[in-house]
Amino acid sequence: MNATGSQLAGTICRTVELGVTITDAAVADEFTHLFCAPVIVDSTCADCGMAGRLRDHVQRKVTDLPIVGHPTRLHVRVPRFTCDNTECGTRIFQQRMPALAEPRAKTTRRCNRWILQRLAIDRTSVSAVAKALGLGWDLVNDLALSETHAMVYEQPGHFDGVRVLGVDEHKWKHVRGDGSSSFVTVLLDLTPVVDGTGPSRLLDMVPGRWAKVLTEWSMPVNRCFETESRLSRWTGSPATTPLRPRPFPRRGR
C-alpha cells in the first residue's frame, strides 16, 4: 500500500474512535464524504435513563480531519427514539454521540484539537486551516477560541498556586470610533518566576485598561496577590464580589 492509501486507511480505521463505522464513501469536488452509523446503538433516554423506542433516523453532518489533504464530511445516520415513560419530560431524542462531537457541533472533537495543533504547533494560518477543512475563516477562528477557552479557563485548577500576579496593558488597536477598547490587559502568573521554578504563565487577556479590568476581573478564590509590574496589592474577597484594589508600597521604600 502506498503512503496515500495508508493514510486513507488509517483515517478510516480511526473513525472507530469516534464511535462510528463507515458504511459508504463518495468523492465530490474537493470533498470526501464518509457515510457512517454508530458502532453501538444506545437507546437510553438522558432524562430518565429508560430505554426508548426506535422512531426513525436523522442524518448529522460534521467536519472531520482532512483525508489526504482533502476536506472531509461525515454523514452520520443517528437513531431517534421515543421515550414512553409518562413521567419523563422528554418525548423524542437522538442517540447521544459523545465521542463524535458536542451536541449541535459542526466539527468532531478531534477536528477541534487538530485545529489548535495546526495553529499553535505548526504555526499554520487560520486561512490555511480553514481551506484544509473546507470551512469559513470565522468558524475556524471561533472553534480555536472556544477550544482554548475550554482547555484553559474551564479547568478547575486554572488559578491554583497563583501568588504573584503580573499585570500589563497594551494598546493593540489604533482604530477609533468602533466602540471597542483599543487596550488589552494581560494577566500573568509570575509565581514560578519569583520562586525560580519556571517561566510565567498566561492567565487571561481582557479588553480594556488595567485599572478597570482588575476592578471587574473576578477570581474564584480568596487570595492576596502582589503585582510585580504595577505594584498594587489585590485582596481576594468572596467569589461573588469583585476584587478591590488598594495601593501597594513601592519596593525599596
Residues between 116 and 145 that touch Zn ion (CB under 5 A): none
Return the number of the residue (83 or 162) whose C-beta is nearest Zn ion.
83
Residues between 43 and 82 that touch Zn ion (CB under 5 A): 45, 47-48
- Let me know: does 164 contact 194? Beta carbons within 8 Å: yes
Q: Does residue 95 touch Zn ion according to CB under 5 A?
A: no
CB neighbourhood size of 212 (10 A): 15
Q: Is 190 exposed, middle or buried (0-12, 13-18, 19+ CB in 10 A)?
A: buried
Residue type, 198: G
- Show the beta-strand stretches assigned E in the chain: 20-28, 31-38, 53-67, 70-82, 92-94, 164-171, 183-189, 201-207, 224-227, 232-235, 244-247
Nearest to 230 by CA among 161, 160, 169: 169
Q: Does residue 83 touch Zn ion according to CB under 5 A?
A: yes
Provide, rounded to whole angstroms, the least separation between the CB of residue 100 and Zn ion.
Answer: 22
Quickly list DSSP for 118-135.
HHHTS---HHHHHHHHT-
Among 43, 90, 148, 182, binds Zn ion (CB under 5 A): 90
Strand 70-82, strand 31-38: pairing: parallel
Provide, rounded to whole angstroms, the least separation between the CB of residue 13 and Zn ion.
Answer: 35
Candidates 36-44, 84-92, 111-119, 240-248 — which segment interacts with Zn ion by CB under 5 A? Answer: 84-92
Return the number of the residue (90 or 237) whose C-beta is nearest Zn ion.
90
Return the number of the residue (87 or 154) whose C-beta is nearest Zn ion.
87
Provide, rounded to whole angstroms, the least separation between the CB of residue 20 and Zn ion.
Answer: 24
First to last CA, the chain: 74
Among 88, 139, 186, 221, binds Zn ion (CB under 5 A): 88
Return the number of the residue (87 or 178) whose C-beta is nearest Zn ion.
87
Q: What string marks each residue from 28 to 47 as x (binds Zn ion by CB under 5 A) or -?
A: -----------------x-x
What residues line the site for Zn ion (CB under 5 A)?
Answer: 45, 47-48, 83, 85, 88, 90
